[in-house]
Structure 1
Amino acid sequence: MLALGAFALLADPAQLAEVRDKEEDAPAVVEELLRYLTIIQHVVRVALVDIELHGCLIKAGESVTVALSAANRDADHFAAPDALGLTRSTAGHLAFGHGLHQCLGQRLARAEMRIALPALFRRFPALRLAVAPEEAPLRSAMTVYGVHELPVTW
């Protein structure tokens, strides 16, 4: 997530410039990166009771695939959901799941990102992508979305 978050920020220099020296904005930036990038694309859950969801009956014991990335791009919940908006409200994103099955490591992941990303851009203020964003090798056909490598220069 650190490399993918750095990639997203470097791919949008205007937004990076807005938040680069504002460490107080780091928590909001991290939450938007988590929502926008959603590295775990889907999870499977089993219904504990019969439930109707949008007119479809899901019976107890049946499995359901939840597309976390699609939920985090829900236009009914997030304005312009397909755009990175570092100052938007991200309340309700599902990057770490929800409820009983929420990721146990989420607090550590958030802390690492809040510390590492500002430190990276503070240490290397001229850091930029060494390739066009569309040329960066992404891991899009895997269980965990990310970058294979992040070519940068400064």
Structure 2
Amino acid sequence: MLDWLEILFKAFWCGIAASGFAVLFNAPKRSFIAIFLCGVLAGLTKFIILFPAMGGGIILASAAGATATGFVSIPVSHWRHVPPVVISIPAVIPLIPGSYAYRSMLGIINFINNTEIDVLTRTIHNGLMTLFIILVLSLGVTLPMLLFRIDSVKKFRFMQIFDKDE
């Protein structure tokens, strides 16, 4: 029970951070609730997959959180009358891997003074983790928008995708 409360707590703070980035990016006021909820969804998805019983890695968890946010931002953007990017980008920014980027920069600095192979391998590992997480975040946000690119969300029907042959 305590683990689920911790996941909900972390997801809530992802929503708060997403709202902070919405303010920083000067998003319209009407989109703040949607950005907060999408930030909570992104954090909830990521931390549920990172839950030890689920056994998912951070790259998979970040991809799932960004993809869920990308899919949800399409109809929610119509509800709040803003482009989907206004909702999805601030919502996934809390998922950016700051610790891996920080450790890779420290590793580069340490490698200058200490040229051991262990320092180099840890630095490369942290740098590649940062790269792959940022890659799946960008793909997870943009792929739903590219897949469901239509004239208007008002006309969007899920089965319309499969009925194109008729």
TM-score scaled by length of structure 1: 0.29
- Which of these two proteins has the greater Rg computed from alpha carbons? 2
Relative to its length, the structure with more strand (as a share) is 1
TM-score scaled by length of structure 2: 0.27
